[in-house]
Amino acid sequence: MRSKYGKQREGLEVLRPVKGGSFTWNSLNKASNLLRKGCAWNIHNGKGAKFWRDVWLLQVPLTEVALQPVTEEMLNAHVADYVDEEGSWDIDRLEAWLPPEVLQKITANLVDPLSLEEDTILWTASSNGHFSTSPAYSLALPPRHDPNEKMWRTIWKLPVAERVRCFVWLVSLGRIATNALRYSRKCAESPMCLRCGNDEETILHFLRDCYPARFFWLRWIPQAEHQSFFSSSREDWVRDNILKEDVMESGMNWNSFFSTAVWCIWKNRCTGCFQVLQKVLSAPSLAFSIQQKAILWHKAWQAPTVNFGRQGSRPERIETQIHWSPPRNGWVKLNVDGASAGNPGIAGAGGSIRDEHGKWIRGFVAKVGEASATLAELWAIYYGLHLARKAGYSCVLVESDSQLAIALIKSRHDPVHPYAALLASIRRCLAQDWLVSIGHVYREGNRVADWLSKHSLVYPLGMHELVDPPPALAPILMEDCMGISFQRRVVTHPSSSL
């Protein structure tokens, strides 16, 4: 279809109406505006995306944030035209055209003009760059502000049984099949309450105002709160009690107790409706039953969960001692770390190279620009590897406290991933003629790199090599040499035999 309808066009420009086009092609064109909203260029060698006209850095072309009108000649420039052969950005050339906050975003992107991999299109609404329907629907629909969003989140995180959460959710929506609702739909002969026969059976009536429910609530609601509790509307009544997280004497939160209570009241009401009258609890018995069930469920929820390796079970943690460990003889250890003030925010990276005695060999700090924490971690590994390679070491043990960054490096190459260019450069560096082992370390064993990454934010943009360690690092370096350890609770991994 591209060769038939999209000749001599690149990227999303392929999608253009064509007279006599097929039904499939015309359907794609109808969705082209939505695709353009969610798509952007993913930069590799920078020779496909236009620097000023295409969407690759922000959600809009850079012409819309330029400080002055962009010339016609500049409009045709590619991203690669603004970096040198090593991929360093020509910031001096761009300072007069773009605001500082945009330049910070630019410097956090790696461009490799010598790479054979061309720029690709990614889906910006997902974290991995691949298209998915859920964010596409979100883009297609107008933005909606839900004032009850906090209540919905609270309901689905309540430490109660799932059936209780579902019931409270239905109550908040007014979707419980009371006699009043059933009568309005011609499914009941009368809207009256079967228990008292005095009022229509609405949600508020059977959960709050009918005698058994009112008897229960009067035991728990302070006298000063009676007016607001018994006179509010259903929406306010549910929202106020769900968002109320006061801790009771039993240790449970009020919203958990409230949710359990309304479910028990409804369950008792349904027992009577289905003519099991001998099992219907009286008002005092119902109040006692609710209290006992709430306490029982609270204790069950607080009990530790045994982890048999099943997905969704709570992982077990044990206390252990963490410390920096030196590399074996003939190797050097490269510890790296990244930091982001905001995630995304102004980001930096830092690292150190030490020998088997813990002696400082050299280190670095780098101010990356505006980036996420994970991207900063990847930049730290990138700069650290290049520093070790430049120094001529052939056996390097790399440690990072970012399991996600390590997993991304060890995963298969994905050209549409937002960090694909940087990951590809790291993998090429690892594949050169030297021995490199990369692994995870907890932050307590990575304190030097952690200190360097946090203090890198005060440096100018770019990487700065440190021949000598900063004086403030001396105590940490000494503690690492002495093997000083720190206690940490770590997740235990279940045995494969299970």
Question: Residue 287: what pLDDT?
Answer: 87
Res 218: pLDDT: 94
Answer yes or no: are the C-beta atoms of 168 and 259 closer than 8 Å.
Answer: yes
Structure token pair of residue 298:
């609270």
Mean pLDDT of the chain: 89
The pair phi, psi for residue 121, each rounded to 5°, is -100, 130
pLDDT average, residue stretch 229-250: 93
- CA pair distance 248, 235, nearest whole angstrom: 24
Flag whether pLDDT at 9 surpasses 70: no
- Cβ atoms of residues 51 and 103 within 8 Å: no
* Residue 62 near residue 69, CB atoms below 8 Å: no
**Pair 358, 473: CB distance under 8 Å:** no
**Rounded (10°) CA dihedral 136, 142, 146, 149:** 10
Greatest mean pLDDT range, 275-289, 298-312, 317-331: 317-331
pLDDT at 126: 87
Other Cβ atoms within 10 Å of 475 Cβ, number: 11
Under DSSP, is residue 393 helix (H, G, I), strand (E, B) or coil? Answer: coil
| Averaged pLDDT for residues 348-373 | 97
Return the H-helix or E-strand segment holding 275: none
Confidence of residue 498 (pLDDT cuts 50, 70, 90): very low
Higher model confidence: residue 33 or residue 121? 121
Spatial CB neighbours of 296, under 8 Å, sequence gap ≥ 6: none
Task: Provide CB contacts within 8 A for 180, sequence distance 6+.
Answer: 191, 200, 201, 202, 205
CA–CA separation, 459 and 83 (whole Å): 21
Amino acid at 158: L
Whether residue 211 contacts residue 268, with contact meaning beta carbons closer than 8 Å, is answered with no
Reduce the DSSP state of residue 414 to 3 states and report it: coil
User: Which domains are present in the chain?
Assistant: 31-140 (no CATH), 149-302 (no CATH), 324-482 (3.30.420.10)
pLDDT at 269: 87
CB 351 within 8 A of CB 387: yes
What confidence tier does 143 reach under pLDDT thresholds 50, 70, 90?
A: confident
Identity of the residue numbered 264: C
In whole angstroms, what is the distance from residue 495 CA to residue 498 CA?
6
Give Cα 422 distance to the centre of its chain. 21
Give the chain's radius of gyration (CA, Å). 31
Residue 282: its pLDDT value, please?
82
Residue 148 above 60 pLDDT? yes
Kindly state the average pLDDT of the residues 355-364.
97
Q: Are 440 and 408 in contact (CB under 8 A)?
A: no
Residue 310's pLDDT is 47
Rounded average pLDDT over 385-393: 97
Residue 164: strand, helix, or coil: helix
> How far is residue 52 CA from its own chain's centroid?
30
Instruction: Calculate mean pLDDT across residues 381-402.
Output: 97
pLDDT attached to residue 416: 94
Residue 81 one-letter amino acid: D
Statement: residue 11 has pLDDT above 60:
no
Quickly state the pLDDT bin for 348 (edges 50, 70, 90).
very high
CB 16 within 8 A of CB 29: yes
Give the position of tokens 């959960």. 207
pLDDT of res. 280: 72
**Beta bridge partner(s), residue 78:** 50
The count of other CB atoms within 10 Å of the CB of residue 163 is 10
Name the residue with tokens 């300072």.
95
In sequence order, the β-bridge partners of residue 79 are: none
Token readout for 497 is 């035999």
